[in-house]
């Protein structure tokens, strides 16, 4: 019997696993949910993994807390190795195409 998860909207999804070959000839197991049970359906959640529901109510398989050591999840913010040291300001806010606060226009208007 395949592992079934019913989300907050009442839709049932079934957990599947598949071995895939990576470009470096290594094998990796990928996990995914589908609305129907097909070939590769799993009977239980793999050890060290947990089912979480994304904001759009789709189930996803996620590593359990503590299994990654001290690594932060990608959604928890950037670490200092990216060079921003906690500062998330990125300039004018318009992708560097002007916009911003308009301070340069004000300084031109005030010149006499």
Q: What percent of the chain has pLDDT over 90?
A: 54
Would you state the pLDDT for residue 91? 55
Q: How deeply is 13 buried, as exposed, middle or buried, from its count of CB atoms within 10 A (0-12, 13-18, 19+)?
A: buried
**Which of 16-30, 48-62, 69-83 has the weakest average pLDDT?**
69-83
Q: What is the mean pLDDT of the chain?
A: 77
Residues in the chain: 112
- Cα separation, 34 vs 60, in Å, equals 11
Does an H or E element contain 105, and which?
A: helix 103-109
Pick the closest to residue 50 from 37, 41, 68, 62 (CA basis). Answer: 62
Please determine, for residue 86, whether its predicted confidence score (pLDDT) is greater than 50. Answer: yes
Claim: this prediction has a pTM higher than 0.75: no
* Residues 80-95, mean pLDDT to the nearest whole number: 53
Please give the residue that has the higher pLDDT: either 34 or 68: 34
DSSP 8-state symbol, 38? -
Q: Residue 40 has which token pair?
A: 């590769």
């Amino acid at each position: 019997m395949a592992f079934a998860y019913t989300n907050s909207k009442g839709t049932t999804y079934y957990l599947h696993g598949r071995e895939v070959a990576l470009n470096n000839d290594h094998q990796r197991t990928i996990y995914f949910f589908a609305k129907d049970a097909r070939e590769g359906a799993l009977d239980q959640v793999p050890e060290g993994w947990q089912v979480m529901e994304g904001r759009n109510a789709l189930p996803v398989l996620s590593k359990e807390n503590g299994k990654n050591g001290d690594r932060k999840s990608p959604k928890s913010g950037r670490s200092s190795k990216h060079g921003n040291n906690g500062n998330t300001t990125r300039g004018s806010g318009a992708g560097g195409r002007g916009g911003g606060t308009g301070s340069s226009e004000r300084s031109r208007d005030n010149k006499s």
